[in-house]
Chain A
Amino acid sequence: MASISFRDVTKQYEGAKTPVVPNLNLEIKDKEFIILVGPSGCGKSTTLRMIAGLETITSGDLYIGDKRVNDIPPKDRDIAMVFQNYALYPHMTVYKNIAFGLTLRKMDPAEIDRRVHEAAKILDLEHLLERKPKALSGGQRQRVALGRAMVRNPAVFLLDEPLSNLDAKLRTSMRSEIARLHRRLDTTFVYVTHDQTEAMTMGDRIVVMKDGLIQQYDTPQVLYDSPDNLFVAGFIGSPQMNFIDALIVEKDGKLYAEVRGHKTDLLLIPESKAAALKPYVGKTVIMGVRPEHFMPVANLTEDNALHVKVDFKELLGAEYNLYVYIGEEKVIVKMPSHEPLPEDEEIAIPVNLRLMHFFDKETEKAICH
């Protein structure tokens, strides 16, 4: 059981011009399920590997619990790791794979046997203990890898994109299995993924990273509702948030976002957001609208209409995605299937004004949510 703390940690590979991870400060609480998420090359795996001790730290301090672990080898850090390609030892049976770490620690064989069987029971592997990894399916291998980490009772559980080699259906079921495992083991989990769905569904808190820098570190709900900047806004949520240029104008004491597509629309900015946007009057900002924050046409008023040109429609079953244009800008609109839109080429769709986000065009930082 341990917290993890990065203090000004920098990682720079030999011969590289810039660090992969520059000056990272991150506090992970004991027993938390933390997700490191970001596009490939953002430094999330490097961060995880620094916790594991598989990468050296160029400068700064890394603490697990209250122990500085910079110079402690992986085996003495009280961690366990699940790798993307499982990394099961091919020449050992499932039993030996799971028991290996315990055998090396010269644990009492009876205790090893007890722990292996306990883990196998939890992960439904009991009938496979004598098989070699070669004779297992992808999902079974993944469970063996989890078992191998579990039996060690580590203070920190590290998972490096553990589900990315599985098919979609298995991924969904393993997702809940891992979340359940976290509740059961009640220990710190650090999970790396590039899949925002995994991040949103599993983590207590999410670290969104880009170019080695933390963009935002908060709960899934906060990331979705109040993204700090354009990157987080675009990364969290699927399909991703639409970004539309809007000019802030003042009329009769009220603020409006003026959107110039093939028609000019004036969207009324609610009181709650008006104060923050006041200094931007006369300036262009980026307006963020999630596809799911458009409303059925019944709600259409003068103040919330966006005129769009329909490109095509993608039916998903319960809902559909409508691909439309506002001027040159491509925008995705999500609608429930039972809310058919007029089949015209040009239509007006109402926007939920309360849920609009505004970002500064230059700094890309959020102005208000």
Chain B
Amino acid sequence: MKLRKGPATALIVVAILVAAYTLFPFFLVVINSMKKANDIVANPVSLAGASFAQLSQNIQNVVTNSNFNFWAAFGTSAIVTIISLILLALFGGMAAWVICRNKTKWSTVIYMTFIASMIIPFQVVMLALISTFRDVGNFIGIKMLQSIPGIVFAYLGFGGAMTVFILTGFIKGIPYELEEAAAIDGCSPEGTFFRIIFPLLKPVITTVTILNGMWIWNDYLLPSLMLGQNGPVKTLPVAVQAFVGSYVKRWDLILPAALLAILPMIILFIIAQKQIINGMVEGAIK
């Protein structure tokens, strides 16, 4: 489809405006990361005082700050995100496959439960969640609060619904004969999943993983409740909170820390961009 020149130009202008609007907060983070605290407070929008030397100074201050402990938080964030994503893809794929292929009353009920849980806002359940996690932790003897296994478990629950929803839709489009052919070729049910179904899910799993990954990496509310401000483990978004005092806000540390926190996601997005779009398109037309 080719647009005439007039509408095409208008579209480009609109696109630029939307992009500018979306990128403006990011732009603020970047320029203010390059300034001293005084300059930020004086005029956050101006470029006055911004320099790369200051940026590297600020980053150094963040990384070496003893309250913040950047590398530990970065490590925690990475571990929580990676483990959650792997388990979500694996268990989500398994659950979606069974729901799709075992057409019983119960599988429909379970599927509907997954869907229903997507409608409930996190804020509604969050307080009850903490006390429940504490009780469950006490009961099974594994610490669920202020611990990595606990928060990974929570992410499996909150991310599971959307993952299963998207994967189920995709699996429906995979011809059942492939699984029958695999059964005749000698695959066990587990073999069929890992050798046939899971590899075929690659494009849609990439998409789901990116969506879940951005959410888990950037999430603030859940880790702040489950890990706490003073707990032994902190993810990056929670750790940045260390620079927010009751009386003083260290913008020259908060903003470079935020910049460091979002950087991996941006890099990942740029690398995997093509995959993400392919995954979304394939899901849409197949």
Interface residues of A, Cβ cutoff 8 Å to B? 52-54, 73-75, 79-81, 83-85, 87, 89-91, 100-101, 104-105, 148
Residue numbers in A under 8 Å from B182 (CB-CB): 89, 100
Provide the B175-194 mask, 1 if CB < 8 A to any CB of A, else 0.
10110111111110001000
Closest to A106 in B: B186
Give the residue of B175, B177, B184, B202 whose beta carbon is less than 8 angstroms from that of A74: B184
Find out whether the CB atom of A90 lies under 8 angstroms from the CB atom of B180: no
Report how far A85 CA is from B196 CA in the complex, Å.
16
Find out whether the CB atom of B184 lies under 8 angstroms from the CB atom of A89: no
| CB-CB under 8 A for A104 and B186, given A87-B178, A89-B178 | yes
Give the residue of A81, A91, A105 whose beta carbon is less than 8 angstroms from that of B181: A81
Please provide the 7 A-B residue pairs with the shortest distance between their CB atoms, ordered closest to farther. Answer: A101-B185, A87-B177, A104-B186, A75-B186, A87-B181, A91-B199, A74-B184
Provide the B92-135 mask, 1 if CB < 8 A to any CB of A, else 0.
00000000000000000000000000000000000000000000
Report how far A73 CA is from B189 CA in the complex, Å.
12
B200 at the interface (CB under 8 A from A): yes
A-B contact list, 19 entries, CB within 8 Å: A54-B180, A54-B183, A54-B184, A73-B183, A75-B184, A75-B185, A75-B187, A79-B184, A83-B177, A83-B180, A85-B177, A87-B180, A89-B178, A89-B182, A91-B200, A101-B185, A104-B185, A104-B186, A104-B191
Find out whether the CB atom of A104 lies under 8 angstroms from the CB atom of B187: yes
Closest to B174 in A: A90
Interface bracket on B: 10 to 19
Find out whether the CB atom of A81 lies under 8 angstroms from the CB atom of B196: no
Report how far A253 CA is from B63 CA in the complex, Å.
118
| CB-CB under 8 A for A75 and B183, given A85-B175, A87-B178, A104-B191 | yes
Find out whether the CB atom of B200 lies under 8 angstroms from the CB atom of A80: no
Find out whether the CB atom of A83 lies under 8 angstroms from the CB atom of B200: no
Find out whether the CB atom of B184 lies under 8 angstroms from the CB atom of A52: yes
Q: A54-B184, A87-B180, A100-B182 are in contact. List 18 more A-B contacts (CB 8 A).
A: A52-B184, A53-B183, A54-B180, A74-B180, A75-B183, A75-B184, A75-B187, A80-B184, A81-B181, A83-B180, A83-B181, A85-B175, A85-B177, A87-B175, A89-B182, A89-B196, A104-B191, A105-B186
Residue numbers in B under 8 Å from A104 (CB-CB): 185-187, 191
Residue numbers in B under 8 Å from A148 (CB-CB): 181, 185
Residue numbers in A under 8 Å from B183 (CB-CB): 53-54, 73-75
Find out whether the CB atom of A81 lies under 8 angstroms from the CB atom of B184: yes
Residue numbers in B under 8 Å from A89 (CB-CB): 178, 181-182, 196
Residue numbers in A under 8 Å from B181 (CB-CB): 81, 83, 87, 89, 148
Of A73, A85, A104, A148, most buried by chain B (CB within 10 Å of CB) is: A104
Residue numbers in A under 8 Å from B202 (CB-CB): 91
Nearest CB on A from B191, distance (A): 7
Residue numbers in B under 8 Å from A81 (CB-CB): 180-181, 184
Residue numbers in A under 8 Å from B177 (CB-CB): 83-85, 87
Nearest CB on B from A157, distance (A): 11
Residue numbers in B under 8 Å from A80 (CB-CB): 184
Residue numbers in A under 8 Å from B199 (CB-CB): 91
Report how far A53 CA is from B180 CA in the complex, Å.
10
Report how far A314 CA is from B180 CA in the complex, Å.
44
Closest to B188 in A: A75
Report how far A73 CA is from B200 CA in the complex, Å.
24
Residue numbers in A under 8 Å from B196 (CB-CB): 89
Give the residue of B175, B185, B200 whose beta carbon is less than 8 angstroms from that of A100: B185
Of B182, B184, B186, B202, most buried by chain A (CB within 10 Å of CB) is: B184
**8 A Cβ contacts from B256-276 to A:** none
Nearest CB on B from A1, distance (A): 18
Closest to A82 in B: B181
Nearest CB on B from A72, distance (A): 12
Residue numbers in B under 8 Å from A83 (CB-CB): 177, 180-181
Nearest CB on A from B281, distance (A): 15
Report how far A15 CA is from B76 CA in the complex, Å.
53
Closest to B191 in A: A104
Closest to A91 in B: B199
Residue numbers in A under 8 Å from B200 (CB-CB): 90-91
Nearest CB on B from A52, distance (A): 6
Report how far A274 CA is from B186 CA in the complex, Å.
59
Nearest CB on B from A12, distance (A): 18
Closest to A154 in B: B184
**8 A Cβ contacts from B179-225 to A:** 180-187, 191, 196, 199-200, 202
Residue numbers in B under 8 Å from A73 (CB-CB): 183
Report how far A87 CA is from B174 CA in the complex, Å.
10
Closest to A145 in B: B181
Report how far A83 CA is from B186 CA in the complex, Å.
16
Report how far A145 CA is from B89 CA in the complex, Å.
31
Closest to A84 in B: B177
Nearest CB on B from A10, distance (A): 22
| CB-CB under 8 A for A101 and B178, given A89-B196, A90-B200, A91-B200 | no
Residue numbers in A under 8 Å from B191 (CB-CB): 104
Report how far A84 CA is from B185 CA in the complex, Å.
16
Residue numbers in B under 8 Å from A85 (CB-CB): 175, 177
Report how far A100 CA is from B178 CA in the complex, Å.
12
Report how far A54 CA is from B196 CA in the complex, Å.
18
Of B181, B186, B202, most buried by chain A (CB within 10 Å of CB) is: B181
Report how far A31 CA is from B202 CA in the complex, Å.
42
Residue numbers in B under 8 Å from A105 (CB-CB): 186
Closest to B183 in A: A74
